[in-house]
Structure 1
Amino acid sequence: MTPDRRHTLALLGAAAAGLMLGGAGEPPAPFVRRDGLALRRGDAPYRIVGANLWYAAWLGADADYGDRARLGRELDRLRALGVGNLRIMASAEEGPLKHSIRPGFSRADGSANETLLAGLDFAMAEIAKRGMTAVLVLGNFWEWSGGFSTWLYRATGRYVDANDPAHPWPAFADSSAGFYANAGAVALYHAHVRRVVARRNGVTGRLYADDPAILSWQLANEPRPGGSDAMIARTADAYYDWIEATAKLIRGLDPGHLVSLGQEGTQATNGGEAMVLRAHRDVDYLTAHVWPLNWGWVDGGDLAGTWDRGSALSAAYVDAHARLAETLGKPLVIEEFGFPRDGETYAPGTSTTWRDRFYAMIQNRVEASWRAGGPIAGSNFWAWNGEARAAHGDHRFRDGDRAYMGDPPHEPQGWYGLFDSDASSLAQLRRHAARAGARHPPQ
């Protein structure tokens, strides 16, 4: 069949991005694979211009909390911006922790929520239709999706709630890190991993293991070995064992896809580079997250006055992890980077001057690595709010809210997320995508 002009342009645009888009009568695109310091798809480099869209499965659910029409609109917006990769949650556990999203992939009684799993199926089918890929996150160190603390609660009946004044930092992080050494909690988590990785998509009929729209399976969001130095030292061996065992489990179920850890980098290990190197031994590429406000590198009330220090520390953090990636001979993805709006406001329509500068600084480093043949495969900004708007004047998420944003339920709605009206930030993203060759022609 001779392709028409529009189809030919789409294929050319995909090839420029290192993608092979599958259409009717065409073979499926090959899986993304690791080749030394690079990610490749077929014979072309695979450069990630990505977004975090944790809530994709919730929008994809055929339920009162779902909104499939909105999911389609958001994916179309992102694709038009040149975004080709999404990092989404494929896990969430209902339990007693405050500010955890409900419903979850597993209910409070431990049973699987087939409706939300079907929402993941629908989301993956829509992502595949658009020639995009996804990183599927199979767990969470933090409370906003239940995560490790909820698996521990189910195994032991005990938990520590995040931000509880009776248990100040690092009590929650140390408690959550107890997950790795608890055989019962890890067994519950591994049962969820098996359920998802071995799943057949109910929309496409394709096994997830055969789906080229999956870029990688990710063990968890920001899995730390602890908060305190003492807990990190005590947990290290169990932490490494969990990484090794989970990576082996995933590859046994699906040998074709990449496996990633989801770690922040040295911020997760209280500065320990050796732990980062060891933690990434059994996975295919390194990850790093960059959060200058959360880490105290900038002051939200004085972004102008603290910008120089914050940007310098952020740049050094990226450079340090590129060096670690080269040491391991593996690619690096800056899979989370976030910055507040000017004045640390939350509402759409407020200015994003300093955020735009931060995005440009991260993306310029990514582009420099592309030009030099370095280890940075790309980046995913945190996160996409799209057309969603906060339902309440205090910008807080409440149980039952359906206007999901990139800002998860424990955070102010609009804190870090990118709205569809943030014109200057979107322009910056388009420029970056164009330089990656990831801008798809309109269809």
Structure 2
Amino acid sequence: MGSLSFVATKGSQFVVDGKPYYINGFNAYFLMAISVDSYSRPRATMLLEEAAAAGLNTCRTWAFNDGNGYEALQTSPGVYDERVFQALDFVLSEAKRVGIRLILSLSNNWKDYGGKAQYVQWAQKINNNASAQLSSEDAFFSDATCTALYKNHVQTVLTRINTITGVPYKNDPTIFSWELMNEPRCLSDQSGAILQAWIEEMAPYVKSIDSNHLLQVGLEGFYGPSSSVRVDANPNSYCQQLGTDFIKNHQVPGVDYATIHAYPDSWLGWNVSVEDRIAFMKSWISVHAADCSSGGNLQMPLVLAEVGLSQWSGGFTVANRDRLMAATYAALLESARASGAAAGALIWQLFPPGMDNWSDGYQILLSKDISTAAIITQQSQDIAALNANSAPPSATPSRASLISFPGKLRSNL
């Protein structure tokens, strides 16, 4: 990849070296886990090389794996398996080599790879089960012990010195950004106050350790109580009960850009027509891009951080998946070409060959799914052309400069 500059923001756009920067990428949450053992490590290299050959420039993956599961990173509170950490070092070094930036997620809302449930279990043990507050997984967001454990993990990862490159993570521009949590939800507090308070504490904490990198929350994009005029944009009424709030959560100092996820199969129903799914995708992108635009509530870049169509959904065909992806990409390009807030998408998810037993129904193999790979590659070419021809944006102060600091398995709705 050569010499890199950190990705920054200016208004509603990403910038690199002062020029607008757009992304086309993918999710591969498992990269650290498959890089631990020598027999599976080549799959990580293969996937990154295939993705780079297709022009993809960004990958989102896990920088957590908590508990006693497969290739756990944090095996107990504050105790890390050095073999696994060195696997993450390897992923970073390989990503740099092939020219792909990484979005690293620091925790999980779900039980997969430990998640907030594991932190609550650890806190229960530390407190000898004496705290009634620790009866719910959502205690993760408010319990002092959970907060301390999470902050320790953040500090451990951000200050890690890569054993291959010798570069501290917080100083490595190969990292595009940090993510507080994959798809945070707090169902026990539908008002959203608990999750909001957690974000307000954790975003500045991350920035207090690492002021180089951007930060995102990890949200799915659901509108909550502070956005009553927007709730009709949600895929269903249940989304208002999840304790999240797209607008308010992203207004926290230290949060640099907004994210949405999109699963128009499980969210809308497994047997909804592809036409209705495409219509939802266009609307979902449009309304959030408007909120993030220079005249909107947030004035920050927007990334479609997960999007996919399951092979297990009703009426699935490769042609329907291709239609959905092409329409989604077109909507993002339309915004980007108009200097809008939509900065790109990360498909869920790319697999290398040999991982059939990891299937979640959404996987795409670039070497096998030829028509889909062609659409992905074309989007990469269009994004590359935008990046090559982008003019510097107007001299609007970046969000970070306005702030001073003392920082998967799919779910159905």
TM-score, normalised on structure 2?
A: 0.81
Deviation at 1:267, TM superposition (A): 6.4
Pairing partner for 1:294 from 266, 279, 284: 266
Matched residue, 1:308: 275
| Equivalent residue for 2:93, pick from 103, 110, 125 | 125
**Aligned residue in 2 for 1:433:** 380
Q: Which residue of 1 aligns with 2:155?
A: 194
Q: Is the 8 A contact 1:133 1:213 kept in 2?
A: yes
Q: Would the aligned equivalents of 1:49 and 1:438 in 2 still touch at CA under 8 Å?
A: no
In structure 1, what is the equivalent of residue 231 of structure 2? Answer: none
Name the structure 1 match of 2:179.
Answer: 218
The C-alpha deviation readout for 1:262-286, integer Å capped at 9, x for no partner, is 1001168824899211111230000
Q: Structure 2 vs 1, CA of residues 379 and 239 (structure 1 numbering), >3 Å: closer, same or farther? A: same
After superposition, the C-alpha distances for 1:70-99 in whole angstroms (9 at most, x for unaligned) are 22111110001111100010011125xxxx
Matched, 1:54 2:54: no
Q: Structure 1 residues 385, 202: closer, same or farther in 2, change over 3 A?
A: same
Q: Which residue of 1 aligns with 2:285?
A: 318
* Pairing of 1:6-405 with structure 2 (within 5 A): 21-22=1-2, 28-61=3-36, 63=37, 67-94=40-67, 101-108=69-76, 111-156=79-124, 175-226=136-187, 231-233=189-191, 236-266=192-222, 270-271=239-240, 275-282=245-252, 283-295=255-267, 297-299=268-270, 302=271, 306-326=273-293, 327=296, 328-341=298-311, 351-391=317-357, 405=358
> In structure 2, what is the Cα distance between the partners aligned to 1:73 and 1:275?
38
Q: Name the SS of the counterpart of 2:220 in structure 1.
A: coil
Contact kept, 8 Å, 1:263 with 1:288, in 2: the verdict is yes
Distance in structure 1 (CA, Å) of the matches to 2:385 and 2:337: 15
Contact 1:81 1:439 in 2 (8 A): no
CA distance in 2, matches of 1:422, 1:119: 28
Instruction: Tell me how far 1:69 sits from its aligned partner.
Output: 1.8
Cα shift readout 1:222-278 (whole Å, capped 9, x = no counterpart): 01132xxx6222xx3331221122111211111111011110011688248992111
Call closer, same or farther: CA 1:331–1:439 in 2, change over 3 Å. Answer: closer
Cα 1:311–1:323 change in 2 (3 A) is same
2-structure distance, mates of 1:259, 1:80: 27
Q: Which deviations, in whole Å up to 9, do the C-alpha atoms of 1:134-156 show, x marking residues without a partner?
A: 00000000111110111011112
Q: How many residues align?
A: 359
- State yes or no: 1:418 paired with 2:376: no
- Aligned amino acid, residue 259 of structure 1: L
SS in structure 2 at match of 1:83: coil
- 1:171 equivalent in structure 2: none
Q: Answer yes or no: is the 8 Å Cα contact 2:44–2:352 preserved in 1.
A: no
Q: Structure 2 CA distance, aligned partners of 1:310 and 1:67? A: 36
The 1:45/1:360 distance shift into structure 2, 3 A limit, reads same
Separation in structure 2 between the aligned mates of residue 177 and residue 372 of structure 1, nearest angstrom: 41
Partner-residue secondary structure (3-state), 2:80 = coil
* Secondary structure, aligned partner of 1:378: strand
Cα deviation for residue 381 of structure 1 reads 0.2
Output the CA distance in 1 between the equivalents of 2:278 and 2:20.
29
* Aligned-partner SS, 2:218: coil
RMSD: 2.5
Aligned to 1:384, what secondary structure does the other structure show?
coil
TM (norm. structure 1) is: 0.76
Question: Partners in 1 of 2:99 and 2:356 — Cα distance?
Answer: 30
Assess, with a 3 A threshold, how the Cα gap between structure 1 residues 260 and 343 changes in structure 2: closer, same or farther.
Answer: closer
CA 1:344–1:104: 2 relative to 1, 3 Å: farther
Query: How much does 1:68 deviate?
Result: 2.4
Are 1:342 and 1:352, in contact at CA under 8 Å, matched by a contact in 2?
A: no
Query: How big is each residue's C-alpha offset from its partner over 1:52-83, in whole Å with a ceiling of 9 and x where there is no partner?
Result: 0111112322x36x622222111110001111
Question: Within 1, Cα distance between the matches of 2:16 and 2:287?
Answer: 27
Contact preservation (8 Å) 1:370, 1:377: yes
The runs of 5 or more residues in structure 2 that have no matched partner are 127-134, 226-238, 388-413
Q: Encode CA deviations 1:195-236: one digit per residue, 9 max, x unaligned.
A: 00111111100111111101101101001132xxx6222xx3
The structural deviation recorded for 1:344 is 5.4
- Runs of 4+ residues over 6 Å off in structure 1: none
